Amino acid sequence: MKHAKRVLFFIFFITVLFIAVFFGYDLKTNPYKFLTKNNDLVVEAEAKYIIPGGQTIGVELKTEGILVVGLADIVNTDKVSTSPAKLAGMQIGDKILSIDSIRFEDAEDIIKYTESKGIKDYSITYEREGKIYNCNITPVQIYKSNEIKFGFWARDDIAGIGTVTFVDPETGRFSAIGHGIADADTGKLIDIKTGVISKANITSIKLGKKGEPGEIIGYILRDEKSLGTVENNTNFGVYGNINKNGMNYFKNDLIEVGSKEEMTLGPAEIYSCVNNETKIYNIEVTKIFYQNKPDEKSFVIKIVDDELLGLTNGIIQGMSGCPVVQNNKIVGAVTHVFMNDPTKGYGIYIEWIFNEFNSNEKLEI
């Protein structure tokens, strides 16, 4: 019995050693290689071609509901510090849906409404983590002022600069940014009602430093026609449709979509626009992670292009969404920068973006 166990253990050891030697290089280069030796994972499909992005754009989103981004104490006419909203149970991240059964589009409209109605009991309906709640709040008058306040800060829109990942020439749909847009105050993914993307003008670059991310600084060209509309804000980027005239802005040659199984450690490129011109820059893929479900941190890249390093010191805010290209195929997009080393950052597999992209496609019925 002991002899049989030893023989089985020896066979097992030799098998593991053989696999490690035979597949070792492939596994180190790409963790999917072992699974695809017998084509167990990859299913041959017709090649998909898209227009790679890299263009810096302005993104403007209108939230679904008015977002509570802060709670504040108010010094009332009795010189008492209080927050009616906090006392009523409201929290940061709540979405105000209506007040006195009236839906408001803008935070300013709430101020105008309460100014017209004065101090009274207001019925507020709000959403928190997908559930609907109701509460009654009586605002207070500020000490030595005629203003009345509920004791919360609110926001109804958000704007910023990002990068287009790709445009589908067949449908005119686009993907940008590579990760979801979250509220800076709450950290939660923003539910959007409408949104637009427009051209942006870069005015300067804040260089990335260890512990301090850099940033593309510029402004949205609102005087020009928008490039397209935003339909969805997801964990893996924003999606929408390019306007007919906006398609002229995306002129890069078509490129084939690659799979995560085709990625390897080593040279690659990103398309980026950090100097008001879309260019191709050299990078290195330094790590590839095996993922059996979508995640925005699929692989690690390092900027090695001297020109780009001279402009930015590495990956900076606004470069999220830059397409990653390897062996003439788009394989992913930039998502995050390493806080301790701005030359390095994470990317997401392009197929994770496509999964989300296709699942959010709206069908005409």
- Which residue among the candidates 83, 94, 320, 336 is catalytic per the annotation? 320
Are 298 and 291 within 8 A, CB to CB? yes
Please give the distance of CA 188 from its chain centroid, rounded to a whole number: 11
Distance (Å, whole) CA 324 – CA 352: 13
- Which residue among the candidates 83, 226, 305, 336 is catalytic per the annotation? 305
Bridge partners, residue 285, by sequence: 266, 301
**Residue 320 appears among annotated catalytic residues:** yes
Distance (Å, whole) CA 218 – CA 215: 10
Q: Is 286 left (phi over 0), alpha (psi -120 to 50) or beta?
A: alpha
- Which residue among the candidates 83, 94, 156, 179 is catalytic per the annotation? 179
Bridge partners, residue 60, by sequence: 159, 196
Q: Is 32 left (phi over 0), alpha (psi -120 to 50) or beta?
A: alpha
**Residue 305 appears among annotated catalytic residues:** yes
DSSP, residue by residue, 211-233: TB--EEEEEE-TTSPPSEEEEEE
How is residue 278 written in tokens?
């879309």
Bridge partners, residue 281, by sequence: 270
Active site residues: 179, 305, 320
